[in-house]
Each structure stands twice: as structure tokens, then as C-alpha cells.
Amino acid sequence: MRYQQPRNIKQHFVKFVNKIFSTNKNWKNTEIEILALSENNSPEAFEQYPWDKEKYPLIVLFGEGSTDDLWSIDSRIGYLWDILKIGSSPNDSIKLSNTNMVAFGVKTEKYDMPLRSVDLALQYIGPYENDIIVQLWNGSSEPTSILASGSISGKAFRSMEWASTSLFPIVTLAKDTNYFISVHTSGSLGNSYNLMLDKTPSADITPFISLLTGTSGSWTPISGSAFAKVNGPVYYRVGGGLNSTIRVFVESKDLATTQKIADLLFVYFHLAKHSNPQRKEKMGFSANTTGMNYGFVSDLTDEGIYIKDVDKGAESVRIRGNDRLFSVDLSVNAYSNWTEEYILPVLEDIKVIINEKNAN
């Protein structure tokens, strides 16, 4: 899920500006105050702040609003399948029997995922057409107890095919927790199917690589992994693009300080504008003749926030009590996107409620 709305975008800009002054050790003034104010309460809060705090230089970030990018919204509408891939390619196989089970590891690393169904890559070897029993187990290093089960009706086919079954009851896989899926055939007849395997699985695709054979309480590990898919819910994704403007206000008690801060921000925003998430290691420190730290300039693009334009206004001065306050405005135009995902049964329930209301 990605939710880049104006408030969230401004928070990322505040973090970015904070890093500019925390990482540049040559910057001597440590009393820079960075605030983030919303558009609604910013006038009152901005006028009251100097009277209460009186800390300068001052940097204030304003969210100036955002508009939808109408050309991009269609690309954010559609179906999303949550799938855990087990193995990369089918380069080996193992016979399924009614006496021994084959179990492979399953793990979701970043979030909890309700398990909807399991897809197995099978090869028919005949001559029987036994049903295939699929079970979900818990356990850290080997299957311990059964959590859910399902079955695939046996049939004959000529080549490798995907076969799918839902598991009941529905179990939510906890993130960063090991589970196992076991497979065996039913009945008392002989072997009829091969389960396709990946003998050289990648941990980038299959985070929990484990393959075992045996029965409950007596498991033997073997090398490789199954070639399978574990499916979570089907989502309906809605979203679009956003064009946003962030106003950065710099103020201090002398013009030179204001200009230096505005120049430093201007340079960093331009570095962020031209940065590429794939090139952040290539920004380099070899040309770092100014002592500036470039290591974080890709932070905004890493979060899906892309700077389009950076404008710097003219200096201005105003009187506050006995002080002259010099200020400069920077305007940063950024592009981002937002998406919201709904599990399909939720949408169906909403549709039914709307129809009933209209009927009444």
C-alpha cells in the first residue's frame, strides 16, 4: 500500500531538510529551527512562533496543496494478486505417494497475509488418478501441527500443469514466521504424480528455503525447494497521481545567513531532482570539494516523491520589534502517487449495501 498524500509528502521533506543540516558538519550555526505547518493553521502559528521562541535562522515548510494528475489515474485502477513464489524454475521432481509427504517452507517477510490458495506444479506419471492432499503446518524447522487443509481432484494430463486448491479454515500467515505446506496422495494405490522442484532456489525469491520428506514427527531434509505459489487475497487497487507544491520559507536576522541557507537548500533540492534510486551509489564523493554530504539525496525518490521544479524567490525584509528579519522563499513542485487496496469481498459487501439502499 502506498499513501503519498500532501501531509505525508511534507513530512518526508522535513526529514530531508533535517538531514541537510545534521550531516553537513561544516555548517557552524546549530540553532536552525525547522517547522512543518499545515495550510489551515499556518498563518496564525507562523505569526505566533517568533514571539514565543525567538530562534533564528528559521525554516518553515508549508504544504501549498495538491492536484490530481488526471492522465495517470487509470493506471492505478485494477486487480492486485498477493502471491508468494516458491522456487524460480522447475528443474527437478519428486514422486508423491500415499505413505510419505513432501513438505516445503513458506514465509511472508514484511506483512501478515491471509492464505487463500496453493498452486502446485505437477507432472502426471500414471496410471492412477489419486486425489492430492495439501496441508498447512506450523513449525520453525519442520512441520509440527496442521493448521488448514485442502485437496486437488486427481486427473490425467500430458505435461506439467498447475493445480490449485483453497485451504480451510483460512489462516493468516504472520510476518517473518516459518510455515510448511505438505503434499501427498490419497488412497492405497501407487504413485501417480511428480511434484516439480527447484534444486537451486534463490533466497531473494524464496525467503524460507526448506524441503523435507516423511510423516508427522519423522521428517528428513533434502536439498532444494518446491516449485509452487502461495496465494493471498485478491485486491482491487484504486489510486492516481498527485502534483504537489511545498513552500520552504527561510528567515534570519542577517541577509548573508538567509542567502546561504537558501542556496544550500536550492542545491540539495536540485540534487534530489536529478537523483535516481538506482544511481545513489554513483553520486560519488570524488568531486566533493565543498564538504557537502550527498549520501541521502535519493531519499525522496526512494519514497516515490519526484521533484519537478525548484524556484527561488527574491529576498525580502520586514521589521519585527527592534529586529530586521530577512527572508527568502523556495517553491518545490513535486510529483507522487497514492494507492489504496481493498480486498474484493469488502467491495462486494459495499455493492450489496448500496443496492439495497437504492431499492428502498
Q: What is the pLDDT of residues 108-164, one digit of tens each?
A: 988 899 998 999 999 888 777 888 999 999 999 999 999 999 999 888 777 788 999
Phi, psi of 295 (to 5 degrees): -65, -15
Peptide bond into 127 cis (omega under 30): yes
pLDDT band at 39 (very low <50, low <70, confident <90, very high): low
Please report, rounded to a whole number, the percentage of residues in the chain having pLDDT higher than 70. Answer: 77
What is the C-alpha separation between 360 and 358, in angstroms, rounded?
Answer: 5
What is the location of CATH 3.30.70 in the chain?
6-63+239-252+274-332
Which of 142-146, 149-153, 265-269, 277-281 is predicted with the least confidence, judged by mean pLDDT?
A: 277-281
pLDDT band at 332 (very low <50, low <70, confident <90, very high): very high
DSSP string, 281-331: GGS-STT--S----TTTTHHHHTT-EEEEEEE---EEEEETTEEEEEEEEE
Higher pLDDT, 83 or 286: 83
Residue 290 or residue 201, greater confidence? 201
**Domain boundaries for CATH 2.60.120 within the chain:** 78-235
The mean pLDDT value for 180-203 works out to: 88
Q: Which of 104, 339, 322 is nearest to 206 (CA)?
A: 104
Predicted confidence (pLDDT) at residue 188 exceeds the cutoff of 70: no
Residue 1 has pLDDT above 80, yes or no: no
Local structure of residue 276 (DSSP, 8 states): -
Residue 46: pLDDT band by 50, 70, 90 thresholds? low
Reported in sequence order, the residue ranges of 172-227 that DSSP labels E, i.e. its strands, are 172-173, 179-185, 193-198, 211-215, 218-221, 225-226
What mean pLDDT is predicted for residues 252-279? 84
Residue 169 has pLDDT above 80, yes or no: yes
Whether 61 shows a pLDDT value over 80: the answer reads yes
Q: Which helix (H) or strand (E) holds 259?
A: helix 255-274
Topology (CATH) of 78-235: Jelly Rolls (2.60.120)
Cα-based angle 92, 158, 198 (whole degrees, multiple of 5):
15
Give me the chain's average pLDDT, please: 80
Question: What mean pLDDT is predicted for residues 259-280?
Answer: 80
292-302 CB burial, b ≥16 within 10 A, e <16: bbbebbbbbbe
Predicted confidence band of residue 8 (pLDDT cuts 50, 70, 90): confident
Instruction: Round to whole Å and give the CA distance between 14 and 337.
Output: 19
Nearest to 194 by CA among 90, 298, 275: 90
Query: 334-344, pLDDT tens digit by residue?
Result: 988 877 777 77
Kindly state the cell numbers that stand for 289. Answer: 570539494
Q: For position 38, what pLDDT does the model report?
A: 55
- Domain 6-63+239-252+274-332: assigned CATH number: 3.30.70
Residue 270's contacts (CB-CB under 8 Å, 6 or more residues apart) are 310
C-alpha cell at 342: 481493498
Which residue has cell 540534487? 271
Confidence of residue 234 (pLDDT cuts 50, 70, 90): confident
Mean pLDDT value across residues 2-9 = 64
Higher pLDDT, 225 or 4: 225
What is the distance between the alpha carbons of residues 255 and 234, in angstroms, rounded to a whole number?
57
Predicted confidence at residue 223, as pLDDT, reads 93
Q: Is 1 exposed, middle or buried (0-12, 13-18, 19+ CB in 10 A)?
A: exposed
Nearest CA to 89 out of 205, 184, 183 is that of 205
Residues 6+ apart with CB under 8 A from 145: 137, 138, 139
Nearest to 258 by CA among 191, 344, 316: 316
The band of 280, judged by pLDDT with boundaries at 50, 70 and 90, is: very low
